[in-house]
Amino acid sequence: MLTRLQIKGFKNLRDVDLHFGSFTCIAGRNGVGKSNLFDAITFLSDLASMPLLQAALKVRGTGDRIGGVENLFARSDVMPKRMSLVAEMVVPRRVTDDYDRKATATATFLQYTLVLGFDPKRAKEGKDPIFIEQEELGARPSSEADKLLRFRPSKPWIKRNVIGPGKRTKPFIETDEGHSIKLYGDSSKAGRPSTVPANNSPQTVLSGVNASSHPTALAARRELQSWRLLQLEPSALRSPDEYRSQTRLSATGGHLPNALMRIGSQAAVAQQLAELIPGIVSVDVDSDDVRQQRTLGVTMKNRERYAASSLSDGTLRFLALAVLASDPLATGLVCLEEPENGIHPQRIPEMLRLVRSLADDMDPDDSEDASVSMLRQVIINTHSPLVVAELPDSDLLMAETLIERRAEWIHFKPLGNTWRADNLPRTELISKGELQAYLGGRGQLRSTTQRRVQDHLTLNLFDTPTARSL
């Protein structure tokens, strides 16, 4: 679970420090740069699995070109450019390595720091332009969890999920003065640390941890790998599945039939859909042994079956979210962009209840041992005042664009009288009424410093389902 993220120098995230709970909604007008926060999160996730340059080229804005990697770094006339990403997280204590061996982390409340540089002159030396300046992984004290975890979890939750490092003071990964990155084992008897040169390493040290000999670092890697961005696309949601295709829902919503077949919860999914769309009786997966394909469909009260190809975009999104909510493998952090797209305005409350069900309930009476698996967490973004109106103040963060020195930066504000507002001055807070007026284009945000907001609101917020669609 990502509990805090500090970003400096990534795209228009010049100096951002955000705290997260199980559910967060980033609300802001179109063009403000809300998606850049998701890009930073998925970039960190990809860096836990692949080389620096490959992960950088996956980020939106690079154009899949090496020359485009510079666009990931905030505007600066200084070389090398620099970005800093610091993630605090609560990780599962029990972890499985790449060889299917079980291990137990000695600490679960961790802070991972990664500082990257960019210098095009390195290409003349046959090196990648992006490189590591610093990489650190350390444990946060469990005794301070109630203060550091701003979302105010209950004491039973902290006891279940937060394990301290004990007497250990040495980090699990650190960068020394000679710019060498060292990986230490959990045990004091683990021997000498593994060492790699920071500037010449094509990937992070954390991405190379694949064995149970370093369980805490491995748990951090598994947590980062579980962070993903969902951009549900109607074409992917409608597509049939080959028998041998993957059985987990893809980032675009593909493999919906195989995912539903694997989890075998058609009745539960149908029940959730029936609460959202009256008239639905069942959801099924039709298997064609000749073509080796599976297709998804729903049956209505009139016994008419509709294939996925004839369902509306909104119904398909409901269906995908219901499958995710029922999937035991759908753990970790999910970032979801504008879930209201394709949804009729009257269905927004039901849609939000379904999206929120993807996140773990922080009920203090829940006795489940959450340390066994990854916690479920959701971050969404929106430009809809209707979505904002349905959410509690504590779930919301406002995003605006600031222009300073001819450069645009994104700035976030929480709502007052919530845990997100702790220790912040009144000038850094916003009310729900002001936020809704701002999103509706009816007002500007108050400010005591000189700033200018420059973005636009798309008035057509929702697609209208066709007459033949559900």
pLDDT at residue 148 above 90?
yes
Average pLDDT in the 151-168 region?
A: 90
**Where is the domain boundary, 297, 330, 363?**
330
Same domain assignment for residues 321 and 352 = no
- Is residue 160 pLDDT above 60, yes or no? yes
Are 373 and 292 within one domain? Answer: no
Same domain, 102 and 56: yes
Tens-digit pLDDT profile for residues 19-42: 999 999 999 998 898 999 999 999
Residues 417, 270, single domain; the answer is no
What is the predicted pLDDT for the residue at 450?
36
From 305, 330, 355, give the residue that closes a domain: 330
pLDDT at position 454: 34
Judged against a pLDDT cut of 90, whether residue 178 lies above it is answered with: no
Q: What is the pLDDT, as a whole number, of residue 446?
A: 46
Tell me what pLDDT residue 442 has: 60
pLDDT tens per residue, range 405-458? 778 899 999 999 999 999 899 999 999 999 999 998 665 544 433 333 333 333
The verdict on 19 and 147 lying in the same domain is yes
Pair 320, 439 in one domain: no
State the pLDDT at residue 447: 42
pLDDT value, residue 462:
30
The whole domain housing 436 covers: 1-226+332-470
Looking at the structure, do residues 158 and 123 belong to the same domain, yes or no? Answer: yes
267 shares its domain with 306:
yes
Whether residue 271 is found in the same domain as residue 390 = no
Let me know whether 285 and 350 are in one domain. Answer: no
| pTM as predicted | 0.88
Among 280, 305, 330, residue at a domain's last position: 330
Provide the mean pLDDT of the chain. 87
Give the orientation angle of helix 256-263 with respect to helix 313-326, to 10 degrees: 30
Residue 334 — very low, low, confident or very high, per pLDDT cuts 50/70/90?
very high
Q: Are residues 198 and 241 in the same domain?
A: no
Residues 103 and 195 occupy one common structural domain: yes
Domain count, the chain: 2
